[in-house]
Amino acid sequence: MVTLSTLSQAELLSKLVAVATANSGTALTATDGTITGTLTAIKAKWILGGRKVTSNFRCTLDPASHEAHFQESAMESSWGLPPQTCLTCIETCRACVALLEYDSAMAEEMCEVCEEACEQCAAECTKCGDEPCCKACAEACRKCHDACRAMRR
């Protein structure tokens, strides 16, 4: 059995790169006691766009203190337009909030429209499956739907 104390720094880096590459599916590099890598994942897709997250990371071994220092940065980007139902929901909610802010006589009717838009958007986002942004959107739409319904009563 090989213990960490019997591995050279180069051997340890090699083993860490092999394990990390196998688990992340991305190529990593090891130079001068440092492992670096970038992992890009598409987190959501819709008809005309999507969202991706890119993580850059570095692990530096410090033989003197027997420590490994890990740094990570993530950048999220979106492109295109979300589905039409989401855009409709966003704009309907904005209009509803504006009417409620100054206690408009049409606020109740707008809450009914907002309730319907939120219901449709939640249904659309639920179709995405386990995408985090779609799950969050669907949950927010359900909460807004329930708030609109409560406001109309």
pLDDT band at 143 (very low <50, low <70, confident <90, very high): very high
pLDDT band at 13 (very low <50, low <70, confident <90, very high): confident
Q: What is the pLDDT of residues 45-54, one digit of tens each?
A: 765 677 787 8
Three-state secondary structure of the chain: CCCHHHCCHHHHHHHHHHHHHHHHCCCEEEECCEEEEEEEEEEEEECEEEEEEEEEEEEEEECCCCEEEEEEEEEEEEEEECCHHHHHHHHHHHHHHHHHHCCCCCHHHHHHHHHHHHHHHHHHHHCCCCCHHHHHHHHHHHHHHHHHHHHHC
Q: In the predicted model, is pLDDT for residue 2 greater than 70?
A: no
User: How confident is the model at residue 146, as a pLDDT?
Assistant: 95
Q: In the predicted model, is pLDDT for residue 97 greater than 80?
A: yes
Percent with pLDDT over 70 in the chain: 86
Q: Is 0.85 topped by the overall pTM? A: no
Q: In the predicted model, is pLDDT for residue 32 greater than 60?
A: yes
Q: What is the pLDDT of residues 57-73, one digit of tens each?
A: 888 888 788 787 888 88
User: How confident is the model at residue 100, as a pLDDT?
Assistant: 92
